[in-house]
Amino acid sequence: MTLTPISPLKAQSLGGDGARLVDIRSPEEFAFNNVPGAENRPLATIEPFEDARDVVFICRTGRRSEMNAPELAALTKGKAYRLDGGIVGWRAAGLPLAVDRSGALELDQQALIVSGALVIVSALFAVIVTGWYFLLAVAVGADLIYRGRTERSVIEKALRLFPWNRGK
């Protein structure tokens, strides 16, 4: 089974017609910004749906939903869709988002800032201290490639341990 990709406008229309909008991102990502009316059911803990309503699965870019399409489609008795472009596509379509800017930066923003800082520090230390510090920049680059392919990151996982990223 697969998930049918639908545009943000079609997803908004389906939500208004009674379809279930399900955001499979982590609670931290969901708290930062989400589609109004969507329910948060993180991918790691999602359970099958009891009713036969159609379901639109939402993630950040659409990739997470696409990668887990067979498992997600099996959870619903109704039609199963994935939001094409995810939250990023929803925002690009000019549709409203519920946004909470009261806390720290979004986790992916924090990860990019830390990645950039680590590359700068490793380059400086490679010139000043020893050339072996270039390996830190290589590790950061590898993490960015891994994140680009899987939407997971070692740096993001480490950042989740900080108190301002817990329990949001």
Backbone angles phi, psi at 17, to 5 degrees: -90, 5
Say which residues have a Cβ less than 8 Å from residue 70's Cβ, sequence separation at least 6: 1, 2
Could you tell me which of 151, 154, 164 has the C-alpha nearest to residue 24?
151
**DSSP label of 3:** P
CA distance linking residue 144 with residue 148, whole number of Å = 6
Residue labelled with tokens 């000043």: 128
**DSSP label of 151:** S
Residue 109 is a catalytic residue: no
Which of the residues 14, 59, 111, 137 is marked catalytic?
59
Is 87 within 8 Å of 59 (Cβ atoms)? Answer: yes
Residue labelled with tokens 């998930």: 3
Catalytic site positions: 59
